[in-house]
Amino acid sequence: MFLLAGLARPSGIAAGLIAVRPRLFQNDLDVQLALDEFSASVPQVAQVLGSRRFPTDLAHVRVSWGHAARYGTEGALLIGDAAHAVTPAGGQGANMAIADARVVAEIALSHESQLVQEYERRRRPANARSMRLSLGATIGAAMPDWILAPLIPTAFRILNRWPKLFARGLRFTSTAFLDSPVE
């Protein structure tokens, strides 16, 4: 289990999200065992889950990501996750949506006759670059534990030893969604 987030709603109802690695869902019993272990390690998780069991009381939703075939058509545009859904890696979704909206506004204010084509020409390369973070997160989450467990601390040691490498990665993450990323 990676994460449990809950949100209280009126009338004592709540919604929650539990992020897990995809391969866990190969066997429903494995999911329940992981939930039990997670609940036992963090009392607040046990409180939130209560007596809920998988798969009867929890829904499995698999999020997909990637580009829409087209970013729009005459009279309608897609921006943000509607045009290019991404994982939460690096906070790229919100950044891409804002950059998309800014470009659409610029193009519309310039009275460009081919708004959809110009929007896609300008934003698709930046969005594709930003999606590399989703690809990396997806590949990382799918790795077996025997690879991932030593890889994470090793990566942090490398980044600590070479701060310029860390700065470069941080710069890419924080500017990948821009039309012209900072190198």
The pLDDT value given to residue 107: 94
For the chain, domain boundaries = 3-49, 66-175
Structure tokens at 92: 């790229």
Residue 109 has pLDDT above 90, yes or no: yes
Listed range (10-24, 29-43, 72-86, 93-107) with the worst mean pLDDT = 10-24
Overall average pLDDT of the 22-30 stretch: 80
Cα–Cα dist 84/162, whole Å: 33
The pLDDT value given to residue 63: 67
| Polymer length in residues for the chain | 183
The pLDDT value given to residue 91: 75
Overall average pLDDT of the 2-26 stretch: 74
Give the residue with greater pLDDT, 122 vs 137: 122
Overall average pLDDT of the 117-141 stretch: 86
Cα–Cα dist 151/158, whole Å: 10
What pTM value is reported for the model?
0.61
Residue 37 has pLDDT above 80, yes or no: yes
Strand 66-67 and strand 84-85: the pairing is: antiparallel
Percent with pLDDT over 90 in the chain: 16
CA dihedral angle for residue 142, residue 145, residue 148, residue 150, rounded to 10 degrees:
180
The pLDDT value given to residue 3: 66
Candidate CATH numbers 2.40.50.90, 3.40.50.10300, 3.40.50.720, 3.50.50.60; the one for domain 66-175: 3.50.50.60
Burial class (CB in 10 A: 0-12, 13-18, 19+), 77: buried
Cα–Cα dist 39/52, whole Å: 11
CA angle 137, 152, 17 (to 5 degrees): 50
Q: How far is CA 120 from CA 54, 56, 59, 127, 136, in A?
A: 42, 43, 35, 10, 24
